Amino acid sequence: MKKFTAFSLLALSFPASPSSFGQTPLTSNEINAAEFIDAMPEGVSALTVKLQVLLDRAGANPGVIDGVAGENVTRAIRGLQEINGLEVDGIMTPDLWERLRSPEPVAVTYTITAQDLEKMVESIPVDYAEMAKMEWLGFTSGAEALAEKFHMDQNFLMALNPFARFIIGENIIVINPGEQAPVVVTRIVADKSNERIVVYGENDRPVIVYPATIGSDSNPSPKGTHEVMGVAEFPTYAYNPDLNFQQAENTEKLTIPLGPNGPVGGTWIDLSEPTYGIHGTPDPSKISKTASHGCVRLTNWDAAELAKLVKPGILVTFIEAAKSIY
């Protein structure tokens, strides 16, 4: 379960106005008051926002919070069922809702600080050779930085705050995902077919499930079991087309600078298999939806969270498929 950071709660509402999600913006009151009855609504909804946050707090991480009940939400529900030793079908029920219920508000107001907007860059080039010329691969806007901080889809954050400028001192609506409480990690499974990382704790029971992108047909992930060797925060990235893949027309080795928008995001968990690791991504909304270059890709916040929990020597096993994780 996750601990919570206290923010001031203020019921904000906005006049009806088109948002980047194509509908009137949700309000914090609507999100916090949402209750599950018997089915999940289609499209963007206050209930799905609340469910995604509660799943995140429970260790069944749904990826980016965007208010849409898609495949990552279904996977997170399955993860919650597995963590609790329940029948696994990925279907939300009133019983699961009661397990998730919390008095802590889900939608809160947050005052933007100077620290939130530090080390911005104008843009991030696609070409690795151009990236290598930069000193820092930071966020390109306040909206991007704050969306990452609160585990949110950037467009959804902007939809909740259609008149925001995302400047220092401004109050905005965000969600409060909480912080993962310390757990003892005994082993990790990279489940390729189900596109997830399963973290096992004491008594060899699952305690956290993360959505993940694990390899691709052209750049498969490793097989078998490997050890965690160490962790690096904001790592540089050693691009070597002779070892992994060729990006665009780049045929020479390059050192890509550090930053959350680098090829491996803000965290690198090194594995004993050379050149492979578990890492973050500059594109959190694509997790479990696109291929990787062989490694295990998580959202930046999930990778950072996992990095705080693992120790050198923990085993990471890659499997092709699993009907059950225990």
The whole-number pLDDT of residue 33 equals 97
The whole-number pLDDT of residue 216 equals 57
Maximum CA extent, the chain: 57
**15-73: pLDDT as tens digits:** 333 344 556 689 999 999 999 999 999 999 999 999 999 999 999 999 999 999 999 99
Stated length of the chain? 326
Lookup: tokens for 315:
């085993």
What percent helix, strand, coil does the chain show, rounded to 5? 25, 20, 55
Burial label for 141, CB within 10 Å (0-12, 13-18, 19+), is middle
pLDDT band of 284, cuts 50, 70, 90:
very high
| Cα separation, 187 vs 205, whole angstroms | 10
**Nearest alpha carbon to residue 97 among 57, 59, 61, 55:** 55
Residues 161 and 256 both lie in one domain: no
Share of the chain above pLDDT 70, in %: 87
Buried b (16+ CB within 10 A) or exposed e, 148-157: bbbbbbbbbb
Mean pLDDT, the chain, whole residue set = 88
Which domain does 315 fall in, by range? 182-319
Is residue 127 within 8 Å of residue 75, measured between CB atoms?
no
Is residue 293 within 8 Å of residue 216, measured between CB atoms?
yes
Residues 286 and 261 both lie in one domain: yes
Residues 158 and 195 both lie in one domain: no
**227-271: pLDDT as tens digits:** 999 999 999 988 888 877 788 888 899 999 999 999 999 999 999
Q: Is the pLDDT of residue 115 over 90?
A: yes
* H/E segment holding residue 228: strand 224-233
Given 181, 196, 230, the domain boundary residue is 181
Quote the radius of gyration of the chain (alpha carbons, Å): 20
Residues 173 and 191 both lie in one domain: no
Residue 326 lies in a domain: no
| Cα separation, 122 vs 6, whole angstroms | 32
β-bridge partners, 319: 191
Given 123, 156, 181, the domain boundary residue is 181
Is residue 53 within 8 Å of residue 34, measured between CB atoms?
no
Residue 238 DSSP symbol: E
Q: Considering Cα of 198, then 201, then 203, then 204, what sign does the dihedral take?
A: positive
| Cα separation, 270 vs 279, whole angstroms | 8
| Cα separation, 325 vs 186, whole angstroms | 14
Residue 31 lies in a domain: yes
| Cα separation, 41 vs 20, whole angstroms | 19
| Cα separation, 109 vs 95, whole angstroms | 30
DSSP string covering 44-87: B-HHHHHHHHHHHHTTB--SSB-SB--HHHHHHHHHHHHHTT--
Residue 325 lies in a domain: no
Is residue 259 within 8 Å of residue 281, measured between CB atoms?
no
Given 159, 181, 203, the domain boundary residue is 181
Give the pLDDT mean for 114-138.
95
Residues 167 and 223 both lie in one domain: no
Tokens 């709660």, located at residue: 9
Give the pLDDT mean for 195-216.
92
Residues 66 and 161 both lie in one domain: yes
Residue 83 lies in a domain: yes
Residue 213's Cα: distance from chain center in Å? 11
- In the chain, how many domains are there? 2
Least trusted range by pLDDT, from 166-170, 184-188, 215-219, 223-227: 215-219
Is residue 170 within 8 Å of residue 109, measured between CB atoms?
no
Least trusted range by pLDDT, from 4-18, 87-101, 123-137: 4-18
Residues 131 and 259 both lie in one domain: no
Single-letter amino acid code for the residue at 312:
P
Burial label for 276, CB within 10 Å (0-12, 13-18, 19+), is buried
